[in-house]
């Protein structure tokens, strides 16, 4: 915003050639910036395991809950895991979407298996090396369903992607879903903190996500507990008249001034 204003005021005092040169430089800068952003996204996707950087994030042992985390990707899901994801989505989200659910379910089914979909799976039980090997095989679709029983059941997952929003590289959380029996034990907060770390490590400008307005607990969780803000991209900010009718809000947490100005608070 600032640089645009600066260029506008400069151009009033200089000739046409200079204006053209300035336009070319600006265009070159814009293209270079776009390229740099695409490189960041590409680099983030090259990382095979986004939670490998710290063993601290492979387990969650708190509030009577003992679970293990594993990373995965959309194009490597086994049939069992796909079914699990669909069932949990239906159980947790159908009520919030109401009559929109049938359409939404189809969209989510497609999104689930996209090659750019990245996952963190949460599985109850055994914290040993055997667990890690077998779970990786299961998630990669290389083994039978019995592995689930051997290692304790899945209890939730996060689906996220690295995308560009308003010329900013962001980590977008497509889904954060926990089974009701493991909710309210700090796991959601832990997973969101991990997601924010992954975003930071991969030099994203923000974490973004979409929440149904009906989903009051999730809205409270993100805004009051995790300190997310309603994004300038959310329907209620883009056009408050239309926003009232919209069933969702887009939330974000930004990590630098440019992302804040673009996605959160244009000033
Ligand atoms: C929304 C969700 C991810 C939150 O995860 P969670 O593990 O249940 O939440 P946490 O236990 O980490 O709670 C974080 C905070 O919310 C509070 N909280 C937990 N359960 C609560 C409840 N039932 N009512 C009010 N506050 C609650 C906790 O006290 C905690 O606050 P604190 O850090 O000050 O103690 C999880 O409940 C869920 O999967 N819900 C169903 C699917 C869904 O709605 N996903 C979001 C779609 S956008």
Average pLDDT over residues 41-45: 98
The helix-helix angle for 129-139 and 79-97 (nearest 10°) equals: 80
Alpha helices in 140-174 (DSSP H): 146-151
User: What pLDDT, on the 0 to 100 scale, is given for residue 14?
Assistant: 53
Lowest-confidence segment of 1-10, 81-90, 95-104, 195-204 by average pLDDT: 1-10
CA 184 to centroid of ligand 1, rounded, Å: 5
User: What pLDDT, on the 0 to 100 scale, is given for residue 129?
Assistant: 44
The answer on 115 and 9 residing in a single domain is: no
Residue 113's SS3 state is coil
The answer on 169 and 250 residing in a single domain is: yes
Count of domains in the chain? 2
The answer on 204 and 87 residing in a single domain is: yes
| Phi and psi based region of residue 156 (left: phi greater than 0; alpha: psi -120 to 50; beta: remaining) | left
User: What pLDDT, on the 0 to 100 scale, is given for residue 126?
Assistant: 61
The answer on 123 and 244 residing in a single domain is: yes
pLDDT tier at 149 (50, 70, 90 boundaries)? very low
CB 179 within 8 A of CB 88: yes
User: What pLDDT, on the 0 to 100 scale, is given for residue 15?
Assistant: 67
The answer on 250 and 123 residing in a single domain is: yes
Atom 44 in ligand 1: residue holding the nearest Cα: 218
The answer on 225 and 122 residing in a single domain is: yes
User: What pLDDT, on the 0 to 100 scale, is given for residue 240?
Assistant: 86
The answer on 165 and 80 residing in a single domain is: yes
Looking at 9, 30, 46, the residue that finishes a domain is 46
The answer on 229 and 117 residing in a single domain is: yes
Continuous segment of H or E residues that includes residue 60 = strand 59-62
Confidence check: pLDDT of 252 > 60? yes
CATH number at residue 250: 3.40.630.30
The answer on 212 and 260 residing in a single domain is: yes
Lowest-confidence segment of 102-106, 142-146, 239-243 by average pLDDT: 142-146
Q: Which residue has the higher pLDDT, 79 or 21?
A: 79
User: What pLDDT, on the 0 to 100 scale, is given for residue 5?
Assistant: 35
* Cα-to-chain-centroid distance, residue 169: 11
Confidence check: pLDDT of 224 > 70? yes
The answer on 158 and 79 residing in a single domain is: yes
The answer on 147 and 166 residing in a single domain is: yes
| Ligand 1, residues at Cβ distance < 6 Å | 92, 176-178, 183-189, 211, 215, 217-218, 221, 225
Ligand 1 test: best mutation among 184, 210, 212, most atoms within 8 Å of CB? Answer: 184
CA 17 to centroid of ligand 1, rounded, Å: 59
User: What pLDDT, on the 0 to 100 scale, is given for residue 17?
Assistant: 76
CB 173 within 8 A of CB 119: no
Average pLDDT over residues 20-27: 77
Which atom from ligand 1 is nearest to the alpha carbon of 96?
Answer: 44
CA 38 to centroid of ligand 1, rounded, Å: 34
Ligand 1 test: best mutation among 183, 219, 230, most atoms within 8 Å of CB? Answer: 183
CA 196 to centroid of ligand 1, rounded, Å: 17
Question: What is the token pair recorded at 120?
Answer: 């963190």
Q: What is the pLDDT of residues 233-250, one digit of tens each?
A: 999 999 988 888 899 999
Ligand 1 test: best mutation among 85, 177, 188, most atoms within 8 Å of CB? Answer: 188
The answer on 80 and 65 residing in a single domain is: yes
Distance CA 40, CA 252 (A): 19
Average pLDDT over residues 169-194: 98
Confidence check: pLDDT of 165 > 70? yes
User: What pLDDT, on the 0 to 100 scale, is given for residue 193?
Assistant: 97
What is the domain range of residue 189?
48-264
Classify strands 168-178 and 206-212 as parallel, antiparallel or unpaired: parallel
pTM score, whole prediction: 0.85
């Amino acid at each position: 915003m600032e640089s645009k204003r600066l260029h506008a005021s400069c151009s009033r005092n200089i000739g046409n050639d200079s204006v053209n040169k300035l336009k070319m430089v600006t265009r070159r800068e814009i293209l270079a910036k776009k390229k740099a952003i695409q490189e960041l996204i590409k680099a983030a996707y090259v990382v095979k395991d986004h939670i490998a950087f710290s063993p601290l994030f492979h387990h969650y042992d708190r509030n009577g809950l003992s679970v293990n985390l594993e990373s995965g990707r959309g194009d490597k899901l086994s049939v069992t895991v796909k079914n699990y994801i669909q069932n949990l989505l239906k159980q947790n989200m159908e009520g919030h979407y109401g009559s929109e659910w049938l359409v939404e379910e189809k969209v989510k089914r497609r999104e689930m298996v996209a090659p750019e979909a990245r996952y963190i799976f949460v599985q109850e039980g055994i914290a040993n090396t055997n667990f890690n090997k077998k779970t990786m095989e299961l998630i990669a679709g290389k083994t039978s369903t019995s592995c689930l029983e051997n290692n304790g059941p899945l209890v939730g997952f996060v689906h996220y992607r690295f995308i560009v929003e308003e010329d900013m590289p962001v980590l977008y959380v497509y889904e954060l879903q926990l089974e009701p029996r493991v909710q309210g034990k700090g796991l959601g907060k832990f997973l969101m903190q991990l997601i924010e770390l992954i975003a930071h490590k991969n030099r994203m400008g923000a974490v973004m996500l979409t929440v149904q307005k009906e989903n009051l607990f999730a809205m409270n969780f993100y805004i009051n507990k995790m300190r997310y803000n309603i994004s300038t991209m959310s329907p209620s900010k883009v056009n408050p008249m239309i926003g009232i009718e919209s069933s969702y809000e887009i939330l974000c947490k930004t990590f630098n001034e440019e992302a804040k100005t673009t996605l959160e608070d244009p000033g």
